[in-house]
Amino acid sequence: MNLDELYRETILDHNQTPRNRRELENPTKTVGLLNPTCGDQIKLDLQLDHGKVTDVGFTGDGCSISMASASMMTEAIKGKSIEEALDLARHFKAFLTGTPSPVELGDLEALQGVSQFPSRVKCATLAHNALEKALMESEPTDR
Amino acid sequence: MINPLVDAAHDFPILNRSMHGHRLVWLDSAATSQKPEPVVEAMDRFYHESNANVLRSVHTLADEATTAFHGARFKAARFIQADRPEEVIFTRGTTESLNMVARGYGDLVVKTDDEIVLSPMEHHSNLIPWQQLAKRTGAKLRYVELSPDGVIRPEALAAVIGPRTRIVALSRISNVLGTINPIAEAAEMVHKHGGIMVVDGAQSVPHESTDVHQLGADFLAFSGHKMCGPTGIGVLYGRMDLLETMEPVMYGGEMISYVDQETATWAEVPQKFEGGTPNIAGAIGLGAAIDYLAGVGMDAIHEHSRALGELAFDTLKSLEGVSVYGPARPHAAAVAFNIDGVHPHDVAQVFDSLGVAIRAGHHCAQPLMHWLGVGSTARASFYLYNSQDDVAVLKQAILETKRFFQR
């Protein structure tokens, strides 16, 4: 087993210096999610404006995979439309089970190795599940 | 030198597995122990030679199966010094046993404003059944205070056990802190006030000789799979007079005496608690596990588990950037720890790549994680097939993990 396949440099970098790890002042939408099997938790704040994700921040506690994945995700969705952000979350989750993504995943590509570690897939998807939930629950007026 | 108490390679073939190019080092026995050959063989023999349902039919195989099933109950009763085999109820495990007491007995005796005493170190299976009982009855939960190193002192027990206490429910050994709790003292206090003592023995029955009378346990729950037996079988021990009043929680075949269209009466203890076809092969496997452990000697196992737990505690304590939880002495076979700046799941992942199996997470003890002020921990746990070498491997794996993440 090659650990470096799982823990690529990009992941360790995002884990050590997470991007957008902060609470937003007046988020349009906030979602908290727990991974009850391992205790990982995330709170995702979104600023939505005219159908776009104008700002995003996350806080939480979890393993390097879940925290790095959250950090990468925030970079990938900032400035994107709600539909694009939803697409990203869905394609990324499929990507983790081996389906190539038709959309650009950016740094999230580095999480490809997770697909070989089934017990860690839920770590990598936590932030993306929070994003999907937040966007699905957002008010039509924010869209 | 702490050597394995058994011929591990011979008795536990799984331990000969190579894991990612390394010797498999099983440090997750607090989650489930490995199974020795005699246990696997006993279950195999039952299915190959004697399989039949129990307590029902008159043919020879049914007699053989029933005799073997009764034999397992007898062994389990003797193993914990119960007065009678009927005081042993077979369940799926500790969780089912504790739920059964909370429902079948708790609902009978606990009233509004009564108190149920727990500790913050309880496993969810010895916590949530009581939370739910309190919700149903309007009773209050009271928590005994832990000392800073995670120990229950008699004074702390005295502060919460009182005239309103109906039930004290404590684990004998913590699955996280490795604390050995003063059950006999707690039992004496609660008995003075007319309440009962419920003991979660999931981590203790596999590791020390158990005497329900010495413990003062009115109920004792434990699981087969943590003591070299199979999964899906466990025990609820109860004092006979309590079992006679306790209500069954599972209705169906073989738990009745007389049934008409509107009503039913119950069978005698223990059958009234064992509705449906029981886990016969599981009970036989548990019986074989008890024989195996008794052959090694529970006192020797206790010494061995403690020696390894304390050696691991000391070894980890001496490492920079490593936090170890629970008391230094005595420390049971489970040792929880964290490496600064590395999440326990990442720790366990690196360990796995080195062939070392540990647990990471909240260990089904979220209130204890809150008490410790951490989200989760890593945990190494030992049993009779582990040795001092395995503690050395644990130390090396920690150093390797630090190197990997702190590069």
B306-346 per-position pLDDT tens digit: 999 999 999 999 999 999 999 999 999 999 999 999 999 99
Residues B244 and B363 in one domain: no
B346/A64 touch (CB, cutoff 8 Å), yes or no: yes
Q: What is the ipTM of this complex?
A: 0.91
Distance, CA of B94 to chain centre: 6
In angstroms, the separation between the Cα of residue B11 and the nearest Cα of chain A is 28
- The number of folded domains in chain B is 2
**Residue B228 designated active-site:** no
pLDDT of B119 reads 98
pLDDT of B174 reads 98
- For residue B53, list its beta bridge partners: none
Identify the CATH number of the domain in which residue B183 sits. 3.40.640.10
Model confidence pLDDT, tens digit, residues B20-33 = 999 999 999 999 99
When the pLDDT of each residue in chain A is averaged and rounded to a whole number, the result is: 93
pLDDT tier at B56, thresholds 50, 70, 90 = confident
B19, B20, B22, B349: best to mutate for the A interface, most A CBs within 10 A? B349
- Collect all residues with Cβ–Cβ distance below 8 Å to B238 and sequence separation of at least 6: B87, B89, B101, B105, B218, B219, B246
Instruction: Among B350, B362, B375, select the one facing A3 at the smallest CB separation.
Output: B350
Identify the CATH number of the domain in which residue A111 sits. 3.90.1010.10
pLDDT tier at A92, thresholds 50, 70, 90 = very high
Residues B252 and B189 in one domain: yes
Instruction: Among B20, B345, B362, select the one facing A63 at the smallest CB separation.
Output: B345
Round to whole Å and give the CA distance between B383 and B246: 35
- The number of folded domains in chain A is 1
* Boundary of a domain, candidates B295, B328, B357: B295
Chain A residues in contact with B342 by the CB 8 A cut-off are: 64
What is the span of the domain harbouring residue B378?
8-29+297-406
Residues B110 and B91 in one domain: yes
Q: What is the mean pLDDT of residues B159-163?
A: 98
Residues B56 and B99 in one domain: yes
Q: What is the mean pLDDT of residues B163-180?
A: 98
Identify the CATH number of the domain in which residue B303 sits. 3.90.1150.10
User: Which is more confident, B171 or A118?
Assistant: B171
Q: What is the mean pLDDT of residues B97-107?
A: 98
Instruction: Give the 3-state secondary structure of residue B186.
Output: helix
Residues B258 and B210 in one domain: yes
pLDDT of A143 reads 64
Residues B256 and B139 in one domain: yes
Residues B129 and B12 in one domain: no
pLDDT tier at A38, thresholds 50, 70, 90 = confident
- Collect all residues with Cβ–Cβ distance below 8 Å to B31 and sequence separation of at least 6: B226, B359, B381
Q: Which two tokens stand for residue B185?
A: 């003292």
Please, which residues 9-38 of chain B have a Cβ atom closer than 8 Å to chain A? 20
B355 touches chain A (CB under 8 A): no
Model confidence pLDDT, tens digit, residues A12-27 = 999 999 999 999 999 9
* Boundary of a domain, candidates B295, B313, B328: B295
Domain assignment present for residue B134? The answer is yes
Residues B75 and B135 in one domain: yes
Domain assignment present for residue B35? The answer is no
Instruction: Among B346, B366, B369, select the one facing A63 at the smallest CB separation.
Output: B346
pLDDT of B57 reads 86
**A141 pLDDT above the threshold of 90:** no
* Boundary of a domain, candidates B250, B273, B295: B295
Chain B residues in contact with A39 by the CB 8 A cut-off are: 361-362, 366, 369, 375-376
Dihedral sign for Cα atoms in the order A117, A123, A127, A128 = positive
Round to whole Å and give the CA distance between A107 and A110: 6
Please identify which of the residues B24, B141, B357, B364 carries the catalytic annotation.
Answer: B364
Residues B263 and B320 in one domain: no
Domain assignment present for residue A141? The answer is no
In angstroms, the separation between the Cα of residue A128 and the nearest Cα of chain B is 19
Residues B212 and B86 in one domain: yes
A123/B345 touch (CB, cutoff 8 Å), yes or no: yes
The answer to whether residues B184 and B214 touch, using CB atoms and an 8 Å cutoff, is yes
Model confidence pLDDT, tens digit, residues A95-136 = 998 899 999 999 999 999 999 898 899 999 999 999 999 999
Model confidence pLDDT, tens digit, residues B217-252 = 999 999 999 999 999 999 999 999 999 999 999 999
Residues B349 and B373 in one domain: yes
The answer to whether residues B30 and B335 touch, using CB atoms and an 8 Å cutoff, is no
Domain assignment present for residue A86? The answer is yes
Residues B251 and B326 in one domain: no
Domain assignment present for residue A142? The answer is no
When the pLDDT of each residue in chain B is averaged and rounded to a whole number, the result is: 97
pLDDT tier at A44, thresholds 50, 70, 90 = very high
Of all residues in chain A, the percent with pLDDT exceeding 70 is 97
A63/B20 touch (CB, cutoff 8 Å), yes or no: no
B343/A62 touch (CB, cutoff 8 Å), yes or no: yes
**B407 pLDDT above the threshold of 80:** no
pLDDT of A138 reads 85
A39/B343 touch (CB, cutoff 8 Å), yes or no: no
In angstroms, the separation between the Cα of residue B338 and the nearest Cα of chain A is 12
- Collect all residues with Cβ–Cβ distance below 8 Å to B222 and sequence separation of at least 6: B94, B97, B201, B202, B204, B205, B206, B234, B235
Name the nearest CA neighbour of B394 among B28, B10, B17: B28
What is the span of the domain harbouring residue A23?
3-136
